[in-house]
Amino acid sequence: MHTSSSLRRLDAALAAHPAPLAAVDLDALDANARFLVEAAGGFPIRLASKSIRCTALIRHVLDNHPGFAGVLAFTPAEALHLAEHGIDDILVAYPSVDTAALAKVAASSATIRLLVDDPAHVELIGAAAASVGAVVPVCLEVDLGWWPLGGTVAKIGPKRSPVREPRQAAELAELVCRTDGVRLTSMLGYEGHIAGVGDIVPGRPLRQLAVRLMQAASMKEIAQRFPVVIAAVKSTLAAHGEPPLELINGGGTGSLQRTSAVGTVTELAAGSGLFDPRLFDNYRSLQLEPACAFAMPVVRKPMPSMATLLGGGYIASGIPGADRVPTPALPAGLRFDKEEGAGEVQTPLHGDAAARLQIGDRVWLRHAKSGELFERFNQVHLVRGGDVIDAVPTYRGEGQCFL
């Protein structure tokens, strides 16, 4: 667990600002961005907006770090919002059945690629495009999960696209070619069981070994299968006289080096690594510094050895467990109460530091994941060189809630 210089900078810079508050240390964020660009090995990185959820910070990364190019959005409505703010290269990484938003995408002048992995997606987008007389670029997602028993019993990895084999991909590409209003321009494959699973498992050496062996075996299988699937799609497009693919997206913060080494894709994706949430403490491949944290005030002293915060129960998505709760990071030496944990309206804390905390003091916490924290705050304070330089709205502060 980090008690980093970036958190101390945030604490000093924002001492006069009332908590609760969320903040980003831009020096740490920019250092993380440079690390990710180097890890990408020359491939451009499409910025995963779900891990940021702040238009100003998305613009900051795209404008100041040339290794990042374009946005990987999570809904068509969000893509339209970003297009209104001048972002013109967007790939929506999840399918949508929001017909109103699909029609608006079809009518938009921005380059917004919509994801498909099922004939129903193609039909919906085609109908939306037909309603405005447009042609919408679409992206075909391929499943990169690992099926250790040959694809018949157990799957390791996110339950995303059902398209796995060359024949399936070619059939869906064929449908796109036959459907008015859509054009297949890109492909995507996300190895979430590699990019999103830490390979350091403290105190559980056998599980740690199992994770590392699984990831190595899966990456080998991906390197063999994904190029064949891509070739099947390219062949289908050529047979129909369609233009070649514009891009093939893959990877994530936790797998940049491995995905770039395979070389199958034309671009990578990352976002969470910019903030370095707590879950990323458990990755051998990452040398990052926490850039984002939130501060909560001490409002109670139920006993001299304890301090109780206002709120703080900002639980991350995923399987509920200890790794999904925020981490008290500054001052060091704090721990949650076993009976209350991180609470909706109050969070009692124990530990040596709790005895020293007084009402009105603050505690800095790190969220387990990126992006989701900003659904809790209307604005985020930006710190540079130890000084507060701005306070910018999150999506929530802009009056937006896309998921």
At 152 the pLDDT is: 65
pLDDT digits (tens, 9 = 90+) for 138-191: 999 999 988 887 766 678 888 899 999 999 999 999 999 999 999 999 999 998
Hey, where are the domains in the chain? 1-25+275-403, 74-265
List, in sequence order, the alpha helices (H) in 140-271.
166-178, 192-195, 205-239, 256-262
Q: Answer whether residue 126 shows pLDDT above 60.
A: yes
Whole-angstrom CA distances from 349 to 141, 342, 364 are 44, 9, 12
Among 94-103, 212-221, 272-281, 362-371, where is mean pLDDT lowest? Answer: 212-221
State what percent of residues in the chain have pLDDT above 70.
98
Among 57-61, 71-75, 179-183, 192-196, where is mean pLDDT lowest? Answer: 192-196
At 1 the pLDDT is: 42
The model's confidence at residue 398, banded by pLDDT at 50, 70 and 90, is very high
| Domain 74-265 CATH assignment equals 3.40.190.10 | no
Q: What is the mean pLDDT of the chain?
A: 94
CATH architecture of 1-25+275-403: Beta Barrel (2.40)
In degrees, rounded to 5, the angle at the alpha carbon of residue 283 between the alpha carbons of residues 279 and 287 is 100
- Mapped onto helix, strand or coil, the DSSP state of residue 22 is strand
pLDDT digits (tens, 9 = 90+) for 244-271: 999 999 989 988 988 988 889 999 999 9
Whole-angstrom CA distances from 342 to 149, 173, 315, 334, 349 are 40, 47, 8, 12, 9
The model's confidence at residue 217, banded by pLDDT at 50, 70 and 90, is confident
At 148 the pLDDT is: 84
Q: Answer whether residue 320 shows pLDDT above 50.
A: yes
pLDDT digits (tens, 9 = 90+) for 9-26: 999 999 999 999 999 999
Among 120-134, 177-191, 203-217, 312-326, where is mean pLDDT lowest? Answer: 203-217
Determine the Cα–Cα distance for residues 64 and 356; give it in Å rounded to an integer.
Answer: 41
